[in-house]
Structure 1
Amino acid sequence: MKYSLRQLEVFLAVAHFDNISRAAESLSMSQSAASGALRDLEAQFDIQLFDRVGKRLKINELGRLLRPRAEALLERARSLEQDMAQHEAVGQLKIGATMTIGNYLAVGLIARYLDEQPRAKLDLQVANTSAIAARLVNFDLDIGLVEGEVQHPDLEVIPWLNDRLEVFCAPDHPLTQKPQLSDTDLLSARWILREQGSGTRQAFDWALHGLLPNLNVLLELEHAEGIKQAVAQGLGIGCLSRIALQESFELGTLVPLWVAGRDFSRQLYLVINKHKYRSAGIERWIELCHQA
């Protein structure tokens, strides 16, 4: 074999960081050793995987073509190494979840997974849909659980759970006196919403198409709890997943509002890079999600 797994690790690290020094640091190597490994890999096949731009290395077309296959090969090698070291088929998983899923659903899934695989290591990263998608494309995550629609040629999007957004307000808000809200009511209200790029905001914008330019958006916040607190204080009305609002509705600290003629239903998705090797851990995680 003309190449080593270490050379592939260096190639992928440089592709990730666009910098040989940071790549070497991430692999606990000296810069000269990393440079030598990359140079030897290219020389062995008489190829160039990066364009040299000053001190930066920018992956070229050939490098982009080979990167997913190198990722998959290394993933298989790590899985085999883990099986031999731990004598079990399931190891570390890097999971990305959007805010609502990460805060309200992922913990239960993690508990079930660890119940079966107590020696497994899980890394949960919570971010909005666009950030999760970017990390999946870059192979920084094994699988994503997202609230918004994702469109990227390298990503496989698997329908998961049905969800619904709820418009809500404080119990003493004037709009609670109305049996249902019209478009005029929606335009006259002050809104506390999730930020652009989140799956919740994507679904909200779709539901209120035609009204968006004229909506009075007072605040845009990244966290559901912050939105719930702002609404409870009477700053405006909000719109979040019913998953995030169920407890508040039961306690009576927030109340739902019925909106006429608007569809707030949506789909939650599992997302994985098409080029990623599906280890036993990834397959089992997907199974648990579908059982939830």
Structure 2
Amino acid sequence: MGGRQAWGIDDVLTERWVVREKGSDTGQTLATAMRLYLSRWRIGMEHQQIEAILEMVAVSSLIGCFSRVAAQPLISRRRLVEIKVPELELQRRFYVMTHKAKYFTAGIRAFLDICEGV
């Protein structure tokens, strides 16, 4: 399997994974998504650095989970391919917070508009 395509949960559960360390946001998001499959989830390696995980996936048969933003340079160079697993909910929410009396400049408003569109 390769290319940008959908995989089923059974497909990814037959693969060995390299994952972020416990406590990281990415690791927690993936662990939550995989909670129903823990007994079948094959973790081959755990690492703290996203760059190391990206490189391990690029040079081995391991698969991993990371943000598209982090993976984009390797996807663009065709060293990685994105797979979609419809059974896994891998979305996370980010919140922008500021002091309640903060004055919003035009630049801040434009930034917040971009954030809402992502």
Report the TM-score when normalising by structure 1. 0.33
Q: Displacement, 1:262?
A: 2.2
Question: Any idea what the Cα deviations from partners look like across 1:95-129, whole Å, max 9, x if unmatched?
Answer: xxxxxxxxxxxxxxxxxxxxxxxxxxxxxxxxxxx
**Percent of residue pairs identical:** 28
Specify which of 265, 275, 280 is matched with residue 91 of structure 2: 265
Q: Could you say which residue in structure 2 is the equivalent of 1:194? A: 20
Q: 1:208 to 1:283 in 2, by over 3 A?
A: farther
Q: Which has the higher helix share?
A: 1
Q: Displacement, 1:264?
A: 1.8
Q: 1:218 to 1:271 in 2, by over 3 A?
A: farther
Q: Displacement, 1:269?
A: 2.8
Aligned residues: 109
C-alpha contact 2:4 2:82 (8 A) present in aligned 1: no
Residue type of the partner of 1:246? Q
Q: Could you say which residue in structure 1 is the equivalent of 2:112? A: 290
Q: Displacement, 1:235?
A: 4.0
Distance 2:47 2:22 in 1: 9
Distance 1:222 1:200 in 2: 11
Q: What does 1:30-109 align with in structure 2 at a 5 Å threshold? A: none
Secondary structure at 1:254 match in 2: coil
Report the TM-score when normalising by structure 2. 0.75
Q: 1:269 to 1:228 in 2, by over 3 A?
A: same
Q: Which has the higher strand share?
A: 1
Distance 1:242 1:201 in 2: 15
Q: What does 1:97-176 align with in structure 2 at a 5 Å threshold? A: 175-176=1-2
Gaps spanning 5+ residues in structure 2: where? none
Residue type of the partner of 2:91? S
> RMSD between aligned alpha carbons?
2.6
Gaps spanning 5+ residues in structure 1: where? 1-174, 273-277
Residue type of the partner of 1:267? R
Secondary structure at 1:255 match in 2: coil
Q: Could you say which residue in structure 1 is the equivalent of 2:67? A: 241
Q: Displacement, 1:178?
A: 9.3
Distance 1:186 1:251 in 2: 23
- The higher-RCO structure (CA 8 Å, 6+ apart) is 2
Q: 1:227 to 1:291 in 2, by over 3 A?
A: same
Distance 1:267 1:250 in 2: 25
Q: Displacement, 1:231?
A: 0.5
Specify which of 194, 198, 220 is matched with residue 46 of structure 2: 220
